[in-house]
Structure 1
């Protein structure tokens, strides 16, 4: 497929997607620029989603969007890391394989940046350069949880409404972002999801953007995503200081 054909395909896709778009939570703009060239080993015509893994990522940050998107018609989801192979999560107990290296997927259509222990990756030029290059050609560049800090470190959030994990909201200002509450926040072609489970919400929203609301609704049912949290303490606005302190302790020292 030539660059011109790819451009035309994506332009047609975005036009069709705009016609079926439902309003996203805290959405500020819905139109995304067309991308330029096809990368990786997707089948012709497929939309490629690349989920970034790194040592210390949070499992659900990656797995939530993966499950919401991996069965959507015409979508290929792959996992990427600096090097292909097993990548350990933030607990060190669970490992998930990165199917491809960053070099093997230079121009995904959709970028998903996981969160978790992002400090090392925020200082890794290989990761930041890949994010910047991929963003130039992506349809959407997205993050889950503290993955937004990596977008910020790559220079993509200056003046951009965004969200992140509740404990790191203040840090968005360091990167010039405008903290905006919501399960996910859309601004142009950048979508940031709040903490951990919010990646499922964002993934289902993307499923609808890619294949229509009917498919989005079906995927929500396929995941049986009908949360009824037993305690109702899923945001700091809904809990007390003692629960807040314990949550932070469990996050930093789960043992």
Structure 2
């Protein structure tokens, strides 16, 4: 698995990020031959995640070199980030020269805010897919969606699927399979409730009522306020 050519993979970091949106694909992509990972934020201050701990950026926006792969994670902090001009400008500038532009979960809305999903097929977390037309995207029911150089994926754990898909595109299936084996990504969950298509209806209704109806309304308001 040797490769002399380096690939810079830059993750956007922002307050309120869902840490697994970032750390899951970062873990897989870091094992790709030639990978060089960066985490870029508005400053080098610690970034508070949704899990009660913080992460440290490697770069601020001004010092971050051009990305070959740009990845935008999601999280409840996306609604605030949508209104931050410096964040959107960073996405726009980095995306212009990137080979691949990607998102995990609600990170898709930051791509959309930067004008990168116009007319593109895309996906996001199931609780927000109905909002994708607000950023010009065509909602597509799949865990990973590729449209040109844009790759979007569903919620949280979908980041691993996206990462392995991208490794396969860049380095071939054998390398992607080796990484999957190395991290023992062999899902066998105790319940088949990972998507509304399979979860009990009362579980889906409860989660929508207690979390995602309000969260989606907040996202919609943020999109309306910034478009």
| TM-score (structure 2 length as normaliser) | 0.87
Q: Choose the corresponding residue for 1:244, options 204, 209, 215.
A: 204
Aligned to 2:82: 122
The Cα shift of 1:250 comes to 6.0
Aligned to 1:223: 183
Structure 1 residue runs without a partner (length 5+): 1-43
Where does 1:81-160 land on structure 2 (aligned, <5 Å)?
A: 81-91=41-51, 93-117=52-76, 118-160=78-120
Residue 66 of structure 1 pairs with residue 43 of structure 2: no
Residue 51 of structure 1 pairs with residue 11 of structure 2: yes
Is the contact made by 1:78 and 1:100 (CA closer than 8 Å) also made in structure 2? yes
Which segments of structure 1 move beyond 3 Å, counting only runs of 4 or more? 250-253
Residue 190 of structure 1 pairs with residue 153 of structure 2: no
| TM-score (structure 1 length as normaliser) | 0.78
Alpha carbon RMSD of aligned pairs, Å? 1.7
Aligned to 1:75: 35
Alignment length, in residue pairs?
A: 209
The Cα shift of 1:106 comes to 4.3
The Cα shift of 1:245 comes to 3.4
What is the CA deviation profile of residues 14-51 of structure 1, one whole-angstrom value per residue up to 9, with x for unaligned ones?
Answer: xxxxxxxxxxxxxxxxxxxxxxxxxxxxxx94110001
The Cα shift of 1:95 comes to 1.0
The Cα shift of 1:239 comes to 1.9
Distance 1:50 1:135 in 2: 10
Give the 3-state SS of the residue equivalent to 1:51 in structure 2.
strand
Structure 2 residue runs without a partner (length 5+): 216-227
